[in-house]
Chains A and B, each alone.
Chain A
Amino acid sequence: MSDTTLSAAQRLVGVDIQESETNRAVVEAIEADNPDCSVQHMPGLVRITCPGRLVVNRETVEERLGREWETHEFQMAIVTYFGHIKEWDDDEIVIAWNH
């Protein structure tokens, strides 16, 4: 296990999202903004992983949802994540490793 010396940009980060109507838009937005991500469906959950960095953009979510969406609302969707929350402001949420 410790022979893996991948850089922060290569190691996977990810987020698990509850499966729901609203969250489908969030998942679609993440897929659109993170072309390298992979999406896995588990009971009640959608799991999205990306190498190095995962971003959630408010505008992309709003386009898909057809209404205003504040990034705080991501708290209603997220079940767990791995990586660090590097940024969480009005416009985007970024999950990445630091080192």
Chain B
Amino acid sequence: MTIAPDASRSASKKTRKLPMKQRYQALTRDLDWEPSYVDPKDMFPYTEFEGIKIHDWSKWEDPFRLTVDAYAKYQAEKDKRLYAVLDGFAQGQGHLSLTDASYLNTMKLFLQGVTPLEYQAHRNFAYLARHLAGPGPRFAALCQSIDEIRHAQTEIHTLSNYNKYYSGLHNYLQQHDRVWYLSVPKSFFDDALSAGPFEFLIAIGFSFEYLLTNLLFVPFMSGASFNGDLPTMTFGFSAQSDESRHMTLGLEAIKFLLEQDEDNVPIVQEWIDKWFWRGYRVTGLVAQMLDYMLPRKVMSWKEAFELYFEQQMMQGLFQDLAFYGITPPRHVEQALSEKEILSHQVYWVLYQFSHAAAFTTSVPDDEHMAWLSATYPDTFDKYFRPLWEKERRNIAAGGRHFVRGLPQLCQVCQIPMTFTEPGDPTTIAQRVSVYEGEKFNTCSDGCQWIFEREPEKYVQAWLPVHQIYQGNCGGPTLPDVLAWYGLQDGDSGEHKGSRDDLNWQRWHAQTPTGLGAEGEQ
């Protein structure tokens, strides 16, 4: 190789790079070393206790062939694009072009329920980036760890634009740790964080990021796009573009574990069974968001479930995994059979308990009910319309319904007992297990199976209702608990006539441009 610049090279504007594969090999894999004076078992102490057997870490594939320079370059570009949108939105009073103030209930739920999970994902992928014994997965986990903290930050920055004008967004971190419905996503993630590194890979890397990510995130983002929320759409797609890398990590993880040793197969299968059901229960919050909370509907939960789960996962992925002897998740039939009732049951609970939540709810209006009937012809008119009609009569008589008692929660998913017996949407299901002389309640066969597999773990669950009764949540009365939740006037209850609703009407009546709109504090 010559050192003197030759004409043809200096004429070309591009410096010659190694081909992608070699660059990846040199910058990611070759920087690893064998320890010479430390026992590898001391260096990587957490890779054996779960029973997973790894023989050759170099077999881990990273199809993205990501190197640190390419990673930094494209992530910086993603952030630049996002912050340009945020600036324009803030300068142009963009919040006034949302479909309705009630749309932001979805974003309140997102900020309170999901953003803190991004941060937890950041932490645990940082742990994997240190403790997996191969350079390929370590680097992929490092990138994901940085992605996840970027997601947390960009979500907080994006939604802080709304906090200036709307309720329910001001105290999401405290609420994530304390409020009853947020214990659903929190306990899900805590379960994964307190597992070993390989179970975490299957729980979050595979089940959450591959199996369920489209059900969790794409509806939020399309919903944002359809309801005038440009900043959320932008952060969402910015985060989702990282998600395809996360999906790949999850999928490579499972293939790698299955290919390394046959003994890994039954362990991985049980993790898939467990984490499918854990994740699926969390998606109940997304289901009600799609069918009830979005003022302009994007697609129904049923359609999303059929498209993203039945078509892509059941008919695509699981056919592929059958090669390794992996079968579709246990209890998947139950999930499939619930697709026409899930969103209605979950929203009905949120509606009745929204006086104790950091979002607001309303009875669906006529147009909305017509949509629900048309979308759920076999279930809505039969089982759910009567509830709403009765509630309309309550309201006409001056009595909007809030439940004043506290519900029994599932020991595993922590959702109030609201789900019904398979094939019978009118009978609430409740399973009881006995462990060391005490009774534990679960909402379904799926949650019961998970409980009985690891009772010593789930008996430790921090159940919001139990904690209130034990006196750990600010005091014995409802106002005591709500104060401890960090809720303020305007955060909770009925949407119609709420502070956000009144402000919204005032801003839109006042001036055509809405310039100078200030929230009433």
Residues of A within 8 A of B (CB): 1-2, 4-6, 8, 11-14, 16, 18, 42-45, 68, 71-73, 75-90, 97-99
Contacts and interface: CB of A to CB of B under 8 A. Distances in A.
Contacts of B241: 18, 75-79
Ranked 6 nearest A-B pairs via Cβ: A44-B225, A99-B323, A85-B63, A43-B225, A82-B312, A79-B240
A10 to B, nearest CB: 10
Given A1-B310, A1-B314, A89-B19, A76 B319 contact: no
Contacts, number: 112
Contacts of B14: 68
Contact of B243 (A6, A42, A80): A80
14 contacts: A2-B328, A4-B319, A14-B312, A44-B237, A72-B20, A72-B70, A79-B237, A79-B240, A85-B63, A86-B63, A87-B63, A89-B20, A97-B319, A99-B322
A64 B394 CA distance: 61
B78 interface: yes
A99 B65 CA distance: 22
B414 interface: no
B290 to A, nearest CB: 12
B307 to A, nearest CB: 9
B248 A85 contact: yes
B272 interface: no
Interface in B307-328: 310-320, 322-323, 328
B101 interface: no
B247 interface: yes
Contacts of B77: 76
Given A1-B336, A72-B70, A75-B241, A84 B320 contact: yes
Nearest to A5: B319
A72 B360 CA distance: 43
A90 to B, nearest CB: 5
A99 B319 contact: yes
B243 to A, nearest CB: 6
B320 A97 contact: yes
A73 B66 CA distance: 12
A44 to B, nearest CB: 4
Given A75-B244, A85-B63, A85-B248, A90 B316 contact: no
Given A45-B222, A78-B241, A97 B63 contact: no
B244 A81 contact: yes
A14 B311 CA distance: 11
Given A1-B314, A43-B225, A80 B63 contact: no
Contacts of B247: 80-81
Nearest to A73: B74
Given A42-B299, A75-B245, 8 more contacts: A1-B314, A72-B20, A82-B317, A85-B248, A87-B63, A88-B64, A97-B320, A99-B319
* Binding site secondary structure of chain B: helix
B322 A42 contact: no
A16 B63 CA distance: 18
Given A75-B244, A79-B240, A98 B222 contact: no
A80 B244 contact: yes
Contacts of A90: 19-20
Contacts of A71: 20
Nearest to A7: B319
A9 B313 CA distance: 16
Nearest to A93: B63
B107 interface: no
B221 A44 contact: yes
Nearest to A95: B63
A67 to B, nearest CB: 12
A43 B336 contact: no
A84 B210 CA distance: 11
Nearest to A78: B244
A73 B77 CA distance: 10
A85 B64 contact: yes
A43 to B, nearest CB: 4
Contacts of B312: 12, 14, 82
Contacts of A14: 312
A89 B310 CA distance: 31
A76 B64 CA distance: 13
Interface string B213-236: 110001001111110000001000
B328 A16 contact: no
A12 B316 contact: yes
B415 interface: no
A79 B243 contact: yes
Contacts of B19: 89-90
